[in-house]
């Protein structure tokens, strides 16, 4: 009997995962051109709150992933993932942006700030890797409404409804908050990753100070409530979802509304933590590139890199490098039939371009911003990406056979 206890004890306390967290300031210099609104007339004039890249590294067996969550509008870089693999043996790197509208323009790949930001992200991945600890993972879910669907359909036509300060109901929206909790072997919360779908555009074009908008306020709230924990934010399928108080004037209550919106989300996150379910099973990921036609130039191809992943049957995700409409988040969660599924929009992970808006087929017919203008991918691209990700996740979980049953 003693021998049996001796043999089982190491297994009972064996860590299935290792994890590490790090954060780095990636705020550009004052004066840098800002992104998010074409109405801005000049570069930034100041700093309200810093822009960060916050990294969560998770390892399991021979596989590893780095979630590089950034207070940026977009970020395209194969260099970050390549260096993470070469230097730290990180198999998969996701650059997940909050789609912040009060940060820098991020299209100029060769600007000094852009290269410096890449270097800082790689450095943070290395620090997270070096700080790894034995970890337990769990997921929880909550619900909160902080935004609306900005496309109002009247007689089958889409019209833009940018702001809904009265908080009137809209459709479709998804109030679901996805949360990944990371604790160390002592049971201390070390990281809280939040997945939610709503544009980071409480602040409008009249704001010329850098700010992480409501996701930054959410992170500050969570970290104040859980000392020692690091909060991360990954945007969901927010392509057609705006905050109720979109473009709140800064000469009014702009920054106050940022804090209120972030804290509303943060409080719902905290409330969800007690109802968590353990994450177990091997981490498996796969990346691929889908080529689609340019909607307006059919002879031109658009390569879209995407990634799917699963932690056993308990937690699944897909990362798309663009702005998926909210229906795709709802469809992905239903189709994967996983313990907890999260759609990571605005996430660059594999060779390709920034895909821009990913509207549904129906929205492309109805029209509106991001549906029949200011979108370049061919109609149906979003549906194809979701289906490809779902199929890959089922394969990673061993639920699909290579060939049909011979009996049929």
User: pLDDT digits over 342-353, tens only?
Assistant: 999 999 999 999
With b for 16 or more beta-carbon neighbours within 10 A and e for fewer, the 284-320 pattern comes to bbbbbebebbebeeeeeebebbbbbbbbbbbbbbbbb
Residue 387 falls inside a structural domain? yes
Query: For the residues 30-36, what does the mean pLDDT come to?
Result: 94
Neighbouring CB atoms inside 10 A of 255's CB total 19
pLDDT of residue 295: 95
Give the pLDDT band of residue 401 (cuts 50, 70, 90): confident
Give the pLDDT band of residue 402 (cuts 50, 70, 90): confident
Rounded CA separation 276/105 (Å): 38
Is the C-alpha dihedral spanning 47, 110, 369, 43 positive or negative? positive
Return the ∠ at Cα 26 (arms to 44 and 241), rounded to 5°. Answer: 70
Is the C-alpha dihedral spanning 25, 26, 30, 35 positive or negative? negative
Q: Two tokens at 401? A: 């056979």
Of 11-20, 58-67, 379-388, the range with the lowest mean pLDDT is 11-20
Query: For the residues 308-333, what does the mean pLDDT come to?
Result: 98
Backbone angles phi, psi at 73, to 5 degrees: -80, -40
Give pLDDT tens digits for 175-206: 999 999 999 999 999 999 999 999 999 999 99
Q: How far is CA 198 from the centre of its chain?
A: 11
- Residues 145/171, Cβ–Cβ less than 8 Å: no
| Number of helices (H), then strands (E), in the chain | 8, 22
The answer to whether residue 7 scores a pLDDT higher than 60 is no
Give the pLDDT band of residue 15 (cuts 50, 70, 90): confident
pLDDT of residue 107: 75
- Residues 166/148, Cβ–Cβ less than 8 Å: no
Neighbouring CB atoms inside 10 A of 31's CB total 11
Residue 6 falls inside a structural domain? no
- Residues 317/344, Cβ–Cβ less than 8 Å: yes
pLDDT of residue 13: 40
The answer to whether residue 10 scores a pLDDT higher than 60 is no
The answer to whether residue 292 scores a pLDDT higher than 60 is yes
Neighbouring CB atoms inside 10 A of 153's CB total 17
Q: Which residues pair with 338 in a beta bridge?
A: none
Rounded CA separation 400/390 (Å): 11
Q: What percent of the chain has pLDDT over 90?
A: 92
Residue 9 falls inside a structural domain? no
Q: Is the peptide bond before 172 cis (omega within 30 degrees of 0)?
A: yes
pLDDT of residue 368: 96
The answer to whether residue 8 scores a pLDDT higher than 80 is no
Query: For the residues 69-78, what does the mean pLDDT come to?
Result: 97
Residue 7 falls inside a structural domain? no
Residue 41, CB half-sphere, CA atoms under 13 Å: how many? 1
Number of structural domains the chain divides into = 1
Bigger pLDDT: 2 vs 141: 141
The answer to whether residue 113 scores a pLDDT higher than 70 is yes
Rounded CA separation 205/34 (Å): 9
Give pLDDT tens digits for 214-239: 999 999 999 999 999 999 999 999 99
Task: Tell me the Ramachandran region of residue 356: left when phi exceeds 0, alpha when psi lies from -120 to 50, beta otherwise.
Answer: left
Exposed, middle or buried: residue 408 (CB in 10 Å: 0-12, 13-18, 19+)? exposed
Query: What does DSSP say about strands 189-196 and 230-235: parallel, antiparallel, or unpaired?
Result: parallel
pLDDT of residue 142: 97
The closest alpha carbon to 79, from 127, 113, 119, 111, belongs to: 119
Residue 323 falls inside a structural domain? yes
Give the pLDDT band of residue 109 (cuts 50, 70, 90): low
Residue 294 falls inside a structural domain? yes
Give the pLDDT band of residue 11 (cuts 50, 70, 90): very low
pLDDT of residue 103: 97
Rounded CA separation 26/75 (Å): 12
The answer to whether residue 12 scores a pLDDT higher than 50 is no
The answer to whether residue 14 scores a pLDDT higher than 90 is no
Query: For the residues 296-314, what does the mean pLDDT come to?
Result: 97
The answer to whether residue 118 scores a pLDDT higher than 70 is yes
Question: What does pLDDT average to over the chain?
Answer: 94
Residue 322 falls inside a structural domain? yes
Q: What's the CA dihedral at 212, 218, 223, 229 to 10 degrees?
A: -90
Three-state DSSP class for residue 118? helix
Range of the domain at 320: 16-400
End-to-end Cα distance, the chain: 51
Query: For the residues 356-370, what does the mean pLDDT come to?
Result: 97
Residue 407 falls inside a structural domain? no
Which residue carries 């909550």 as its tokens? 142
Q: What's the CA dihedral at 185, 189, 190, 191 to 10 degrees?
A: 130
């Amino acid at each position: 009997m003693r021998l049996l206890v001796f043999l089982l004890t190491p297994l009972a306390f064996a860590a299935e995962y290792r994890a590490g967290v790090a954060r780095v300031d990636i705020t550009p210099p004052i004066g840098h051109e800002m992104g998010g609104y074409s109405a801005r007339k000049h570069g930034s004039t100041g700093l309200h709150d810093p822009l960060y890249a916050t990294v969560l590294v998770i390892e399991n067996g021979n596989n590893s992933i780095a979630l590089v969550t950034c207070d940026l509008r977009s970020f395209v870089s194969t260099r970050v993932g390549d260096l993470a693999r070469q230097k730290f043996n990180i198999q998969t790197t996701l650059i997940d942006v909050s789609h912040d509208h009060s940060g820098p323009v991020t299209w100029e790949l060769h600007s000094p700030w852009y290269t410096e930001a890449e270097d800082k992200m790689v450095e943070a991945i290395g620090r997270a890797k070096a700080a790894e600890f034995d970890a337990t993972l769990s997921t929880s879910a909550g619900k909160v409404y902080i935004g609306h669907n900005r496309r109002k359909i009247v007689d089958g036509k889409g019209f833009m409804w940018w702001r809904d300060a009265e908080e009137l109901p809209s459709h479709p929206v998804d109030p679901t908050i996805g949360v990944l909790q990371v604790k160390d072997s002592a049971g201390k919360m070390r990281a809280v990753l939040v997945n939610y779908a709503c544009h980071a555009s409480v602040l409008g074009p009249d704001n010329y100070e850098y700010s992480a908008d409501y996701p930054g306020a959410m992170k500050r709230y969570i970290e104040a409530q859980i000392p020692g924990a690091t909060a991360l934010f990954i945007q969901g399928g927010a392509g057609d979802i705006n905050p109720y108080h979109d473009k709140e004037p800064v000469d009014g209550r702009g920054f106050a509304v940022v804090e209120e919106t972030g804290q509303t989300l943060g409080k719902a996150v905290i409330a969800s933590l007690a109802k968590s379910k353990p994450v177990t099973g091997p981490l498996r990921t796969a990346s691929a590139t889908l080529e689609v036609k340019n909607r307006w130039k059919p002879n031109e191809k658009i390569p879209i890199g995407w990634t799917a992943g699963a932690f056993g049957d308990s937690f699944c995700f897909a990362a798309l490098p663009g702005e998926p409409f909210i229906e795709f988040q709802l469809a992905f969660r239903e189709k994967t039939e996983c313990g907890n599924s999260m759609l990571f929009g605005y996430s660059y992970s594999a060779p390709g371009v920034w895909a821009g808006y990913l509207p549904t087929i129906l929205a492309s017919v109805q029209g509106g911003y991001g549906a029949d203008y200011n979108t370049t991918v061919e109609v149906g691209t979003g549906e194809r990406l979701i289906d490809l990700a779902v199929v890959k996740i089922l394969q990673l979980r061993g639920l699909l056979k290579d060939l049909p049953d011979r009996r049929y």
